[in-house]
Amino acid sequence: MMKRFVLLLLAALMLFTSAFAADGTSNVYQGYTYDFFRNIKSTPAPFVLSQVIDSNSVTKTGRTIETVTDVATSKDGRIFIVDKTTSIIYVLDENGQYLSFIKNIKDENKKNAQINGQNVQLTSPEGVFYHEKADELYVCDTGAQRILVLDGQTFAFKRGILRPDDMTGVTEFKPSKIAVDNADRIYVVVQSSYEGIIELNEDGTFSRYFGVNEPQINMVDFLWKSIASDKQKEKMGKTYAPAFNNVTLDGEGFVMAVTSDSASADKVFRLNFAGANVLREMGNIQVVGDLQTENPSAFVDIAVKPYGTYALLDKTYGHVFLYNFDGELLCVFGSKGNAVGQFKTPSTIAWLGDKLIIGDADLKCAYIYEPTAFGSALLKAGEAYYNGEWDTATAYFEEVLRLCANLETAYVGIGKNLLMKEDYEGAMYNFKLGNNREFYSRAYKGHRTNVMKENFWIIAVVAVLFIGSVLGSEVAYHKKQKRRMKK
């Protein structure tokens, strides 16, 4: 009996300890990355769950959260959670404590706000964006086919944006996601639009369609359509541009967007003013998410730090992908499952300082994840590199490698910083460890130039002697030929 008890105790202990990684974090949060050869390499957990925002967080309202459709944050730490089902936006502080909610919109005199003689209240909203410059809250009031602009502090009604009269195309104006830049240009993703992101002026007038998403070309269909008659072409289904899922802005004012449509040639976008995708992809693999899964990653949202590090939320497997400004994969974490901190239907992601907030539509909650020592070092290294603080960045990358020696991106990061400091030999060494051939070539060119400069006089003397030797040989040869001709 005693022996059986001991065996059961040992089994329970093994089960308990197996749930934790070597760094003491739960395996639920363990991370991984891909190396140059596209093999999966495990990493420590970059983030761990610190808090859950659910109906228990808003008990003061007497209501329950029925879904989480979108999340936005402000620099002062407020969190805005959109519940499409109940048509409510909940406002919480940085600690997840309830502050207020938005449903029936009031004006600055605390009277019912009106549009076209009708009281304004939220109707199945799907998106929210806090505009820091103007201290305004933009709400995609999807069910009412409009955008509401509210005061950023009192949430009093300021103005409404309906479908612009001058909007071209056939897109139905059902705004779903929104972002506003520092020039007060408004970028709107509408439901099922294949004409691109809608750009509006500050006053809500139509400006243009922006960043049309190109579909992948199916060569069989292309060849068939090239030889088909006009009548046959009419019977064929039209090929539409894939729709965008979400939109945001990076620290330089570029529009960043994602799509989960498998027909799209690109999945992640960094759009310049002309609408061209200028996303940097300088890593060993493209910004596509998972490489060794049965189904491709389907990105539903993107969150960007001021220094360019961004997080992509995948709805297929519940993975979160962290990329730096250069498009190099830093780490992947997150999964679907029934444990606390795992997802069922991940729907939205946002940064709250260095923390990540991830909403789940079916679990009716938002998780707040805080960075571990490993995750914090990754973020700080990226920030220091972006700001040109080479020594600081190198120190953080070295800390990353101390915690995870097989992260190729960290070696590349050290190499980049050494490259900026013109330490080409050190850069070459680290780029080799990081298997980055492009940057290795850059460092090699710099090293070769330095060698040429350092040995210029030797090279010059050798060159002069060589040229002199050749010329001397030629002169001697011609003299010899002339003597022969005289004879």
Q: Does pLDDT of 397 surpass 50?
A: yes
Residue 127 neighbours by CB under 8 Å, 6+ apart: 69, 70, 82, 139, 140, 142, 175, 176, 177, 178, 189
Superfamily of domain 26-371: TolB, C-terminal domain (2.120.10.30)
Range of weakest confidence among 149-158, 421-430, 437-446, 478-487: 478-487
Question: How does pLDDT run across 62-81, given as a tens digit for each residue?
Answer: 999 999 999 999 999 999 99
Q: Output the CA–CA distances (angstroms, integers) from residue 45 to 33, 140, 371, in the order listed.
A: 11, 35, 8
Q: Does pLDDT of 456 surpass 60?
A: yes
**The dihedral of CA 159, 160, 165, 167: what is its sign?**
positive
- How many other β-carbons are positioned within 10 Å of the β-carbon of residue 97? 11
Q: Does pLDDT of 15 surpass 60?
A: no
Nearest in space to 356 (alpha carbons), one of 338, 377, 334: 334
Q: Does pLDDT of 95 surpass 70?
A: yes
For residue 348, the 8-state DSSP code is: E
Task: State mean pLDDT over 300-315.
Answer: 98
Q: Does pLDDT of 385 surpass 70?
A: yes
Mean pLDDT for the chain? 88
Between 463 and 428, the more confident residue is: 428
Q: How confident is the model at residue 219 (pLDDT cuts 50, 70, 90)?
A: low
Could you state, in order of their start, the residue ranges of all structural domains in the chain?
26-371, 390-480
The three-class DSSP label of residue 81 is strand
Q: Output the CA–CA distances (angstroms, integers) from residue 14 to 21, 27, 42, 230, in the order listed.
A: 12, 14, 21, 69
* Residue 279 near residue 299 (C-beta atoms within 8 A): no
Q: Does pLDDT of 220 surpass 70?
A: no
Q: How confident is the model at residue 423 (pLDDT cuts 50, 70, 90)?
A: very high
Range of weakest confidence among 5-19, 301-315, 352-366, 430-444: 5-19
Rank 16-20, 35-39, 88-92, 225-229 by mean pLDDT and report only the highest: 88-92
The three-class DSSP label of residue 44 is coil
Task: State mean pLDDT over 270-295.
Answer: 93
Q: Does pLDDT of 196 surpass 60?
A: yes
The CATH number of the structural domain formed by 390-480 is 1.25.40
The three-class DSSP label of residue 334 is coil
Structure tokens at 139: 């709400």
Task: State mean pLDDT over 195-220.
Answer: 82
Q: Does pLDDT of 5 surpass 80?
A: no
Nearest in space to 410 (alpha carbons), one of 446, 370, 380: 380
Measured between alpha carbons, how far is 33 from 254 in angstroms, rounded to an integer? 27
